[in-house]
Amino acid sequence: MLSHKQIWSAIDALAARHGHSPSGLAKLAGLDPTTFNKSKRTAANGRLRWPSTESLSKILQVTGATLDEFVALVTRGGAREAIKLRHLPLVRFDQATTAFDALGLPQSEGWAEISFPSIHDATAYALEIAGDHLAPVYREGDIIVVSPQHEVRRGDRVVVRTKRGELLLMELTRRSAKRIDLKSLNARSPDRVLAAGDVAWIARIVWASQ
Protein backbone atom coordinates (compact mmCIF):
# COMPACT_ATOMS: atom_id res chain seq x y z
CA MET A 1 0.00 0.00 0.00
CA LEU A 2 1.33 3.44 -0.90
CA SER A 3 1.53 5.90 1.96
CA HIS A 4 0.34 9.51 1.98
CA LYS A 5 3.95 10.72 1.97
CA GLN A 6 4.89 8.44 -0.92
CA ILE A 7 2.02 9.66 -3.11
CA TRP A 8 2.88 13.32 -2.59
CA SER A 9 6.58 12.63 -3.06
CA ALA A 10 5.80 10.96 -6.37
CA ILE A 11 3.86 14.04 -7.51
CA ASP A 12 6.81 16.25 -6.55
CA ALA A 13 9.16 13.93 -8.42
CA LEU A 14 6.96 13.83 -11.53
CA ALA A 15 6.89 17.64 -11.56
CA ALA A 16 10.67 17.86 -11.19
CA ARG A 17 11.25 15.25 -13.90
CA HIS A 18 9.40 17.45 -16.38
CA GLY A 19 10.96 20.72 -15.26
CA HIS A 20 8.08 22.06 -13.17
CA SER A 21 7.39 23.02 -9.60
CA PRO A 22 4.32 21.25 -8.12
CA SER A 23 2.27 24.43 -8.66
CA GLY A 24 3.55 24.69 -12.23
CA LEU A 25 2.50 21.11 -12.93
CA ALA A 26 -0.96 21.77 -11.49
CA LYS A 27 -1.36 24.83 -13.69
CA LEU A 28 -0.18 22.91 -16.76
CA ALA A 29 -2.82 20.28 -16.05
CA GLY A 30 -5.59 22.88 -15.85
CA LEU A 31 -5.88 22.62 -12.08
CA ASP A 32 -5.80 25.33 -9.44
CA PRO A 33 -2.09 26.21 -9.04
CA THR A 34 -2.33 25.53 -5.29
CA THR A 35 -3.69 21.98 -5.75
CA PHE A 36 -0.38 20.33 -4.89
CA ASN A 37 0.96 22.92 -2.44
CA LYS A 38 2.36 21.48 0.78
CA SER A 39 -0.25 23.45 2.73
CA LYS A 40 -3.00 21.48 0.96
CA ARG A 41 -1.64 18.09 1.99
CA THR A 42 -2.80 18.25 5.59
CA ALA A 43 -6.01 19.80 6.92
CA ALA A 44 -6.03 22.33 9.77
CA ASN A 45 -7.14 19.58 12.16
CA GLY A 46 -4.21 17.38 11.14
CA ARG A 47 -6.23 15.07 8.86
CA LEU A 48 -4.25 13.86 5.88
CA ARG A 49 -5.47 15.05 2.50
CA TRP A 50 -4.96 12.88 -0.57
CA PRO A 51 -4.82 14.01 -4.22
CA SER A 52 -7.93 13.15 -6.18
CA THR A 53 -7.92 10.51 -8.90
CA GLU A 54 -9.01 13.25 -11.32
CA SER A 55 -5.99 15.43 -10.53
CA LEU A 56 -3.66 12.43 -10.85
CA SER A 57 -5.20 11.54 -14.18
CA LYS A 58 -4.69 15.07 -15.48
CA ILE A 59 -1.02 15.30 -14.52
CA LEU A 60 -0.32 11.91 -16.08
CA GLN A 61 -2.02 13.09 -19.26
CA VAL A 62 -0.08 16.35 -19.60
CA THR A 63 3.27 14.72 -18.80
CA GLY A 64 2.68 11.63 -20.91
CA ALA A 65 3.51 9.40 -17.95
CA THR A 66 1.72 6.10 -17.42
CA LEU A 67 0.25 4.93 -14.13
CA ASP A 68 2.99 2.29 -13.92
CA GLU A 69 5.64 5.00 -14.31
CA PHE A 70 4.02 7.05 -11.58
CA VAL A 71 3.93 4.10 -9.20
CA ALA A 72 7.56 3.37 -10.08
CA LEU A 73 8.55 6.80 -8.82
CA VAL A 74 7.72 5.48 -5.37
CA THR A 75 8.06 1.72 -5.41
CA ARG A 76 11.33 1.41 -7.32
CA GLY A 77 13.11 4.49 -6.00
CA GLY A 78 12.22 6.51 -9.09
CA ALA A 79 11.33 9.51 -6.96
CA ARG A 80 14.85 9.72 -5.61
CA GLU A 81 16.26 9.32 -9.10
CA ALA A 82 13.97 11.97 -10.54
CA ILE A 83 15.07 14.64 -8.11
CA LYS A 84 18.80 14.19 -8.51
CA LEU A 85 20.35 17.59 -8.96
CA ARG A 86 22.40 18.90 -11.85
CA HIS A 87 24.14 22.21 -12.37
CA LEU A 88 22.48 24.73 -14.68
CA PRO A 89 24.23 27.82 -16.07
CA LEU A 90 22.83 30.98 -14.45
CA VAL A 91 23.07 34.65 -15.42
CA ARG A 92 21.10 37.78 -14.53
CA PHE A 93 18.61 38.74 -17.20
CA ASP A 94 19.98 42.29 -17.44
CA GLN A 95 23.42 40.85 -18.21
CA ALA A 96 22.26 38.20 -20.66
CA THR A 97 22.16 40.19 -23.91
CA THR A 98 25.65 39.06 -24.91
CA ALA A 99 25.64 35.81 -22.93
CA PHE A 100 24.36 33.55 -25.73
CA ASP A 101 25.82 32.12 -28.90
CA ALA A 102 24.07 32.27 -32.28
CA LEU A 103 21.99 29.17 -31.46
CA GLY A 104 20.67 30.63 -28.20
CA LEU A 105 22.90 28.52 -25.96
CA PRO A 106 24.96 29.90 -23.05
CA GLN A 107 28.43 31.16 -23.87
CA SER A 108 31.16 29.53 -21.84
CA GLU A 109 32.08 32.72 -19.95
CA GLY A 110 30.12 34.96 -17.60
CA TRP A 111 27.74 32.33 -16.22
CA ALA A 112 27.39 31.14 -12.63
CA GLU A 113 25.68 27.87 -11.71
CA ILE A 114 22.71 26.70 -9.66
CA SER A 115 21.61 23.24 -8.62
CA PHE A 116 18.31 22.11 -10.10
CA PRO A 117 16.43 18.81 -10.46
CA SER A 118 17.47 17.14 -13.70
CA ILE A 119 15.24 17.84 -16.70
CA HIS A 120 15.29 16.28 -20.13
CA ASP A 121 17.28 19.01 -21.82
CA ALA A 122 21.05 19.12 -21.59
CA THR A 123 21.01 22.69 -22.94
CA ALA A 124 18.69 24.14 -20.26
CA TYR A 125 19.81 27.23 -18.37
CA ALA A 126 18.56 29.64 -15.71
CA LEU A 127 18.01 33.40 -15.69
CA GLU A 128 17.70 35.59 -12.61
CA ILE A 129 15.14 38.36 -12.95
CA ALA A 130 16.59 41.84 -12.44
CA GLY A 131 14.24 44.58 -11.25
CA ASP A 132 10.45 44.58 -11.04
CA HIS A 133 9.62 45.62 -14.60
CA LEU A 134 7.99 42.20 -15.17
CA ALA A 135 5.87 42.33 -11.99
CA PRO A 136 3.55 40.87 -10.95
CA VAL A 137 4.52 37.81 -13.02
CA TYR A 138 8.23 37.90 -12.13
CA ARG A 139 10.01 40.00 -9.54
CA GLU A 140 13.59 40.88 -8.59
CA GLY A 141 15.52 37.75 -7.69
CA ASP A 142 13.08 35.21 -9.19
CA ILE A 143 14.80 32.40 -11.07
CA ILE A 144 13.39 31.07 -14.33
CA VAL A 145 14.57 27.90 -16.07
CA VAL A 146 14.61 27.95 -19.87
CA SER A 147 14.60 24.90 -22.12
CA PRO A 148 15.71 25.50 -25.73
CA GLN A 149 14.71 21.94 -26.67
CA HIS A 150 11.11 22.03 -25.42
CA GLU A 151 8.43 22.64 -28.03
CA VAL A 152 7.11 26.20 -27.90
CA ARG A 153 3.33 26.54 -27.99
CA ARG A 154 0.76 29.31 -27.81
CA GLY A 155 0.36 30.51 -24.23
CA ASP A 156 3.92 29.65 -23.23
CA ARG A 157 6.13 32.22 -21.57
CA VAL A 158 9.25 32.51 -23.65
CA VAL A 159 12.63 34.17 -24.04
CA VAL A 160 13.06 35.71 -27.50
CA ARG A 161 16.23 37.03 -29.07
CA THR A 162 15.84 39.29 -32.08
CA LYS A 163 18.47 39.60 -34.78
CA ARG A 164 18.93 43.22 -33.67
CA GLY A 165 20.10 41.97 -30.28
CA GLU A 166 16.99 42.53 -28.13
CA LEU A 167 16.31 39.95 -25.44
CA LEU A 168 12.61 39.75 -24.59
CA LEU A 169 10.73 37.85 -21.92
CA MET A 170 7.06 37.64 -22.95
CA GLU A 171 4.11 35.32 -23.61
CA LEU A 172 3.66 33.76 -27.04
CA THR A 173 0.13 34.37 -28.29
CA ARG A 174 0.49 33.52 -31.98
CA ARG A 175 3.14 32.09 -34.26
CA SER A 176 3.01 31.65 -38.01
CA ALA A 177 5.49 31.35 -40.84
CA LYS A 178 5.52 35.15 -41.18
CA ARG A 179 5.03 36.62 -37.72
CA ILE A 180 5.29 36.09 -33.99
CA ASP A 181 2.84 37.80 -31.63
CA LEU A 182 4.02 38.39 -28.08
CA LYS A 183 2.08 39.59 -25.05
CA SER A 184 3.80 41.73 -22.44
CA LEU A 185 4.03 40.35 -18.91
CA ASN A 186 3.62 43.89 -17.60
CA ALA A 187 0.35 45.71 -18.33
CA ARG A 188 2.25 49.00 -18.61
CA SER A 189 4.43 47.71 -21.45
CA PRO A 190 3.24 47.19 -25.02
CA ASP A 191 2.72 43.88 -26.72
CA ARG A 192 4.99 43.11 -29.65
CA VAL A 193 4.53 41.76 -33.16
CA LEU A 194 7.74 40.55 -34.81
CA ALA A 195 8.38 39.36 -38.32
CA ALA A 196 9.50 35.73 -38.15
CA GLY A 197 12.61 36.64 -40.09
CA ASP A 198 13.62 39.15 -37.42
CA VAL A 199 13.79 36.49 -34.68
CA ALA A 200 17.10 34.76 -34.03
CA TRP A 201 15.69 32.20 -31.59
CA ILE A 202 12.88 31.55 -29.15
CA ALA A 203 12.97 29.27 -26.08
CA ARG A 204 10.34 28.13 -23.61
CA ILE A 205 10.33 28.93 -19.89
CA VAL A 206 9.60 25.64 -18.12
CA TRP A 207 9.89 26.63 -14.45
CA ALA A 208 9.94 29.68 -12.21
CA SER A 209 10.78 30.06 -8.52
CA GLN A 210 7.47 31.58 -7.45
Confidence of residue 87 (pLDDT cuts 50, 70, 90): confident
Greater confidence, 80 or 69?
A: 69
DSSP state of 181: E
* pLDDT the model gives residue 93: 93
Q: What is the reported pLDDT for 196? A: 96
Most confident region among 12-26, 45-59, 71-85, 166-180 by mean pLDDT: 166-180
Pairing relation of β-strands 199-208 and 157-162? antiparallel
The 8-class DSSP code of residue 178 comes to S
Could you tell me the pLDDT band of residue 85, with boundaries at 50, 70 and 90?
low
pLDDT at 72 over 80: no
Count the alpha carbons within 13 Å of 48 in the hemisphere toward its beta carbon. Answer: 8
The Cα 73–Cα 10 span in angstroms is 6
Q: How far apart are alpha carbons 13 and 21 in whole angstroms? A: 9
Among residues of the chain, what percentage have pLDDT more than 70? 91
- 2: number of Cβ within 10 Å: 11
pLDDT band at 38 (very low <50, low <70, confident <90, very high): confident
Q: Interior CA angle at 162 toward 170 and 117, to 5°?
A: 55
Mean pLDDT, residues 7-21: 83
- pLDDT class of 76 with cuts at 50, 70, 90: low
Residue span(s) of the chain under CATH 2.10.109.10 come to 85-208
Q: Which residues of 29-46 are buried (b: 16+ CB within 10 A; e: fewer)?
A: bebeeebbeeeebeeeee
The pLDDT confidence band at residue 82, using thresholds 50, 70 and 90, is very low
Report domain 4-82's class: mainly alpha
State the span(s) of the chain assigned CATH 1.10.260.40.
Answer: 4-82
Does 53 have pLDDT greater than 90? no
pLDDT class of 161 with cuts at 50, 70, 90: very high
Rounded distance between C-alpha atoms, residue 54 and residue 156, angstroms: 24
Question: Which residue, 108, 112, 114, is CA-closest to 85?
Answer: 114
Superfamily of domain 85-208: Umud Fragment, subunit A (2.10.109.10)
Q: Of the candidates 159, 161, 162, which has an alpha carbon nearest to the alpha carbon of residue 206?
A: 159
- Is the confidence at residue 25, as pLDDT, over 80? yes
Mean pLDDT of the chain: 86
Residue 187: pLDDT above 90? no
Q: Residue 81 has what pLDDT?
A: 46
- What is d(CA 101, CA 4) in angstroms, rounded to the nearest whole number? 46
